[in-house]
Structure 1
Amino acid sequence: MFTTSTSIINAFSFRNVLLLSVFIRVGLILYSEWHDARSLVKYTDVDYRVFTDAAQFLLHPGPGNKNRAQGPFGGGYGDPYSRETYRYTPLLALVVSPNDWLHPSFGKYLFAACDILNGILIYALLLSPSTGILPKSSPSPSRNRSATLYAALHLLNPMVFSISTRGSSEAILSSLVLLTLYAALRGRWNWAAVMLGVCVHWKIYPAIYGFACIGALASPHTSRGGDRGFGWVKRYLNRRVCSFGLVSVSTFGLLTGACYLVWGYPFLYESYLYHLHRLDHRHNFSPYFYLTYLTYPSNTNSTAPILLSSTSASSISTWWTNLLESPLTSFVPQMTLAIGTGLVFGTLPKTHLPFTWFIQTVLFVVFNKVCTSQYFLWYLLLLPLILPRISMSTSKAATCVAVWVGVQALWLSEAYRLEFLGSNVFYGLWLRGLIYVIGNCWVVAQLMQGYDYDGVHGRSKTQRNA
């Protein structure tokens, strides 16, 4: 019995987990090629076709002004935005361009490779003494096993490897985020600032992490309430904060400016401006989707006016209606929570940045005006880095998992009736979306309550004061 247990433990090494992860991803990519050639329902995500088409437009500019980059220096370059619904940085089309001249599945292998890189970075962050995530006092074999277990939560997560092998590019952004975190935890703030600028250029949401970094770089020697109420100015506007902000904004500006010079306004609109006024009336986890559906410009359903009249529409002013219909309204609670938690928890020692980023990301996703399962990867990426510092009973941990899964299952059961049975369940689906928000907020509250804010190196506050 002892020999069998030892063999199992030895087999559960990071090297073996890594090999299994590679095997799963390569197998799924090969299966996707076989499946897509034989089935009308494709394994490959529609976004992958969008990336591939954009790469082809980029590589093959048309005659005259057809499919030509519209920037001041865009002559001779193709325009990836000729592909409708391509709303990403042109750098993504560039990195998947081998889909056109090497192999159609190149992008999937690239995304899967980024998945593997992310697992390696998580493992390295867990074992690094500078992060303090795992107790230094633990024996080396025990630390390695713990790091392997937590890294496996990412590498062997079906949601992670299925999304990347279907052709989603989220793994690239995840790698950029982890590289930023790795640099910050090791105190290399200039590199962290550069990487954060790259992240925000790639996709806007990592900008919220900048506020956590500002909190971490704020001067600990200045009283918040000192100097007649302006102590916070000296606290946050010190040399380190200004340097970090300047480097990060400059990196973003250089990348964005260079892309604008080549691809012009279509790049700015599709990559950034579109997301500010985006209206998505399709059902999703967001609590805002039903209001968007009722007020969507192309919606000619007479149900909307009836519902509005039931709430005494005559007593609602035009400005209030416009405010509710504005896509910018949803940013208020979302950004207040994401930025606020970043500034508050960011004042903890920098070793707690993974926790701060995790809380920020969960709140950003839950209160986003569009929320799909793919967005869950943004915070699940950071979960293995905070679990070693979460202390809660087995029953509470099981309850948290059950609530997180349960509210999604509750929503999906109603979404199935809408999507596949054609039932008119919009209102019920919206109510379940609200339950989803409440359930996720409860889980976040439990994690915040169970997190060890003081035991940076695995010691409790009582032990440190003894």
Structure 2
Amino acid sequence: MAIFVRSSKSRYMEGIRMHLFLGFFVRLIFIAYGAHHDRINVLKYTDVDYHVFTDAAREVMEGNSPFERHTYRYTPFLAWMMIPNVAFHFLYGKFLFSLLDCVAAKIMYQILLLEGHMKSTALQCSFLWLYNPLVIGVSTRGSAESLMAVLVLHTLFLMKSRYVFLAGLMYGTSVHFKLYPIIYSIPLYLSLTSDANSNSLIKRLMPNKAKMKLVLGAAFSFFGLTILGFILYGEQYIEEGFLYHLTRTDTRHNFSVYFYLLYLSADYHIMGINFAIFGPQMLLLVILGFKFGNRLDLPFAVFTQTVIFVTFNKVVTSQYFLWYLQLLPIIAPKVAISKMKACVLTVFWVAAQASWLLPAYLLEFHSINAFVPLWLEGIAFFCCNVGILMALLSGYTMLPIVQHHNTRKNR
């Protein structure tokens, strides 16, 4: 399985290779700064989760379960990937995540070229990820979100390249590593409808050879990895790696518009509150999945679903923003908004986060009761995200569906 389009690999990579090296070099500078910062400051640059990954890897090296490390609630194979953190050097994982950042940018570039965009357009759009300060900061602090970016983007690349079974394998792997890509199942499935012009719901849902390949590939990789994890670590893996995320209610302060509600209701166990929160989110995910669930609009379907999932989620942290930022470059050329409007929307988005951080800082580091201001800032950030999504939806050019006779069959 190759990430590249082999027939034109050198031509495709000619324009971006230098920027991939430069992007990785910038990340190396941040990694070096982070190591220095952690030595001399009480407030650390390195993400707490990075220490969790490393401790879990140490448990694996000692022949134990990675879930013996308290708060490790990820796939056990991530701990295996972090073993060099313990065996060789603590910074290994940061180098790996930074490298995966660059791989993600390369896949974005290739997807845009496959869609017929000019090299200059594909290159500029990839910069939205490669030189994004938030992306650089998250990866060099030790978050594993770049791994998810590669898995999700590679799934879309393989779908665009019509390697359907391989796309299914990659998709199932992404869902195994983190559950959230399960929301993409509707548009991925519908994008393989034979009669792309059909408005019949029954025809769109009917299985065909390509759809079955996608489903079988996804099932094989997801259940294969999950069963292997269960064989190795038993019920502890299912409890910590899966069930925890399905029932999680985080009452600590976060960007979610629901955080204060969940905080106040934590001791009352109100029946149906999780369903009431999940209902609007699920409804919008299904609507967008069916609206844009076709071959040409698949990236936009996945992007809009991710924005809705994050914005309406009951827990929202900074890492979650990367889930839709990794998809923004591949839909940007199809969104007809001016550069001025794009800059204004970006400034609003950054400002909404910055204004949230002040009461969050007062609450966490000075123990000042700032719950109400924090809640109000969460509402403002929620409205900001909804407004930006509406602007992108109104500016998106939904391409007409036509039958595409490709000489290359669905693989």
Unaligned runs of 5+ in 1: 1-11, 62-77, 135-142, 226-231, 298-304, 306-317, 458-466
Contact 1:219 1:236 in 2 (8 A): no
Partner of 2:79: 93
- Percent identity over the alignment is 41
1:352 maps to what in 2? Answer: 297
* C-alpha separation in 2, matches of 1:341 and 1:221: 17
CA distance in 2, matches of 1:158, 1:394: 19
2:390 to 424, 438, 445: 445
Aligned to 2:359: 414
Which residue of 187, 197, 200 corresponds with 2:175? 200
Cα distance change of structure 1 residues 57 and 220 upon mapping to structure 2, 3 Å threshold? same
Equivalence for 2:127: 152
The aligned counterpart of 1:126 is 112
* Aligned counterparts, 1:66-145, within 5 A: 78-128=64-114, 131-132=115-116, 134=117, 143-145=118-120
**Letter of the aligned partner of 1:23 in structure 2?**
F
The Cα of 1:166 is off from its aligned counterpart by 0.8
Q: 2:280 aligns with which of 322, 326, 333?
A: 333
The equivalences for 1:426-445 within 5 A come to: 426-445=371-390
Structure 2 gaps of 5+ residues are 1-13, 403-411
Q: Give the residue type in structure 2 aligned to 1:352.
A: D
- Checking the alignment, whether the CA contact within 8 Å between 2:196 and 2:401 is kept in structure 1 is no
Distance 1:333 1:435 in 2: 18
Question: In 2, distance between residues paired with 1:221 and 1:50?
Answer: 46
CA distance in 2, matches of 1:97, 1:420: 33
TM-score, normalised by the number of residues in structure 2 = 0.89
CA shift in 2, pair 1:344/1:123, >3 Å: same
Q: Give 1:43-442 correspondences, 5 Å limit.
A: 43-61=45-63, 78-128=64-114, 131-132=115-116, 134=117, 143-220=118-195, 223-225=198-200, 232-239=201-208, 240-297=210-267, 321-324=270-273, 327-347=274-294, 350-442=295-387
The aligned amino acid for 1:323 is G
User: Aligned letter for 2:202?
Assistant: V
User: After the TM superposition, which of the residue ranges 35-44 and 172-181 deviates more from structure 2?
Assistant: 35-44
Question: Would you say the 8 A contact 1:366–1:440 is kept in 2?
Answer: yes
TM-score, length-normalised on structure 1? 0.79
Change (3 A) 1:423 1:120: same
- Looking at structure 2, the residues matched to 116 and 393 of structure 1 have their Cα atoms a distance apart, in angstroms, of 27
- Whether the 8 Å contact between 1:276 and 1:328 is mirrored in structure 2 is no
User: Are the structure 2 counterparts of residues 422 and 392 from structure 1 closer, same or farther at C-alpha, using a change threshold of 3 Å?
Assistant: same
Structure 2 SS opposite 1:43: coil
CA contact (8 A) 1:222 1:235 kept: no
User: Greater Rg, structure 1 or structure 2?
Assistant: 1
Q: Report how far residue 224 of structure 1 moved.
A: 4.4
What's the C-alpha RMSD, in Å, of the aligned pairs?
2.1
Number of equivalences: 388
The 8 Å contact of residues 52 and 100 in structure 1, kept in 2 or not, is answered as yes
Task: For residue 415 of structure 1, report the CA deviation from its aligned partner.
Answer: 2.2
